[in-house]
Amino acid sequence: MANQKEKINILGLDGKEKESIDLPDVFSITPRLDLIERAVISTEAAQKQPQGRNPLAGKRNTALSWGTGFASARVPRLRGSGYPGARSAAFAPGVVGGRVAHPPRAEKVTIKRINRKEKQLALLSAISATEKRNLVQKRGHAIEKISSLPIVIDDKLQTLKKTSQVIDVFEKIGLIDEMARVKNSVTIRAGKGKRRGRKYKRRRGPLVVIKENFGIYKAARNIPGVEVVKIDNLNCNLLAPGTHSGRLVIWTQSAFKSLNKYEVN
């Protein structure tokens, strides 16, 4: 006799149970947290832009050291006569206009490779981890009012065009505490990042996975911490931000059914 598949309830926009469907096999996988971490690091490394210094920076001069016997430091000094310029230190690290001792090199290999099958298994593991309540709570999500995971909502969610409508749906399915947690988590970043376009830091909130976009992108983009992604663009960076698995995910019904395409050996 075949094993009975676990059922999962589909919620309407009013937060009430509408129907139930089979839980896809991908959620039966034991999450490989090590592979998820490697996949996230590999993707983040590939997104970094190589940067370095001009090899001749600080070296375009004729500076030579005077040697000993002049009661002065033996750093290279500019040739010539007159002020300013002549006898000024140059070329060496630590002097005005000098070269950098150990500058970053553009030719340095910064990418982190991962095998194709390992990356695919990492994605399946990251999807499976979103159903594990202990991992979701460990990430800090407030899911005390949510009875079961994963959260699957009617496809009508994809058609919402107003932010207030999306917030109303989130409150009805029990995410009011989660939204408050993200909204109240804003802090000012320490360091130079404040003047580089990333002054504020905020916690990650729910990830909404859809099949088609009929307005939900614009409706949800102004809700703190909430991200919307199509099922075909799903990746480990969204499912496990910062390499930490177990993000709170809200699936639309059609996107949830698409998970059946993943084969589990």
| pLDDT tens profile 160-212 | 999 999 999 999 999 999 999 999 999 999 999 999 999 999 999 999 999 99
pLDDT tens per residue across span 136-161? 999 999 999 998 899 999 999 999 99
Mean pLDDT of all residues in the chain? Answer: 93
Q: Cβ-count burial of 168 within 10 angstroms (0-12 exposed, 13-18 middle, 19+ buried)?
A: middle
What's the confidence (pLDDT) of residue 41? 97
How many percent of the chain have pLDDT more than 70?
Answer: 97
How many percent of the chain have pLDDT more than 90?
Answer: 85
- Extract the tokens encoding 252: 């639309």
In DSSP terms, 209 is beta-bridged to 229, 251
Q: Is the predicted pLDDT of residue 2 greater than 60, yes or no?
A: no
What is the topology classification, in CATH, of domain 8-49+110-261? Answer: Ribosomal Protein L4; Chain: A; (3.40.1370)
Instruction: Over range 247-255, report the average pLDDT.
Output: 97
Least confidently predicted of 48-62, 75-89, 96-110, 246-260: 75-89
Give the confidence band of 263 by pLDDT, cuts at 50, 70, 90.
Answer: confident
What's the confidence (pLDDT) of residue 1? 42
Q: How many CA atoms lie within 13 A of 1 on its CB side?
A: 2
Ranges of each domain in the chain: 8-49+110-261
Cis amide bond preceding 55, omega within 30: no
- What CA–CA distance (Å, rounded) separates 170 from 250? 10
- What CA–CA distance (Å, rounded) separates 54 from 26? 50
Give the amino acid at 221: R
pLDDT tens per residue across span 208-248? 999 999 999 999 999 999 999 999 999 999 999 999 999 99
Q: How many CA atoms lie within 13 A of 41 on its CB side?
A: 10
Q: Are 174 and 187 spatial neighbours (Cβ–Cβ below 8 Å)?
A: no
- What CA–CA distance (Å, rounded) separates 229 from 104? 35
Integer angstrom CA distances of residue 136 from 33, 131, 214, 223, 231: 13, 8, 28, 20, 20
pLDDT tens per residue across span 12-43? 999 999 899 999 999 999 999 999 999 999 99
- What CA–CA distance (Å, rounded) separates 265 from 261? 13
What's the confidence (pLDDT) of residue 3? 63
Q: How many helices (H) and strands (E) does the chain have?
A: 8, 10
What's the confidence (pLDDT) of residue 103? 94
- What CA–CA distance (Å, rounded) separates 39 from 112? 9
Nearest to 173 by CA among 204, 155, 151: 151
- Extract the tokens encoding 64: 């030579």
- What CA–CA distance (Å, rounded) separates 30 from 32? 6
Instruction: Over range 101-124, report the average pLDDT.
Output: 94
Buried b (16+ CB within 10 A) or exposed e, 8-35: bebbbbeeeeeeeeebbebbebebbbeb
Q: Is the predicted pLDDT of residue 77 greater than 90, yes or no?
A: yes
- Residue 22 dihedral angles phi and psi, to the nearest 5°: -70, 145
DSSP assigned state of 223: S
